[in-house]
């Protein structure tokens, strides 16, 4: 049985402009690897959750996350804020 290709998605959220976080990049295989490489090069935290990545990839780029994903994405946003505080990147 072959391994399923890696999936990755990038989210952006500006609470002053957005009703919900947006999927700004999503892909599988080589595109997923490029999304992660780009994040790391730009010091963007990478959170690993294969099931969530597959779900967000299914939504596609340019889409708001649906309400049923608000809680899990809020947990990730909180994780990123905590990382930023610890590393002094809380611009």
Maximum Cα–Cα distance across the chain? 46
3-class secondary-structure state, position 34: helix
**pLDDT tens digits along 14-28:** 989 999 999 999 999
Which residues partner with 15 through β-bridges?
A: none
Q: Which domains does the chain have, with CATH numbers?
A: 7-87 (3.40.1690.10)
1, pLDDT greater than 90: no
User: Is the pTM for the entire model greater than 0.85?
Assistant: no
In degrees to the nearest 10, what's the CA dihedral of 65, 68, 79, 56? -40
**pLDDT tens digits along 49-83:** 999 999 999 999 999 999 999 999 999 989 998 98
């Amino acid at each position: 049985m072959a391994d399923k290709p890696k999936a990755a998605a990038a989210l952006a959220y500006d609470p002053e402009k957005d009703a919900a976080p947006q999927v700004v990049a999503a892909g599988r295989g080589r595109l997923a690897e490029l999304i992660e490489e780009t994040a790391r090069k730009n010091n963007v935290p990478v959170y690993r959750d294969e099931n969530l990545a597959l779900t967000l990839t299914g939504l596609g780029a340019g889409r708001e996350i649906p309400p049923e994903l608000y809680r899990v994405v809020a947990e990730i946003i909180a994780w990123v804020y905590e990382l930023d505080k610890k590393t002094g990147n809380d611009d």
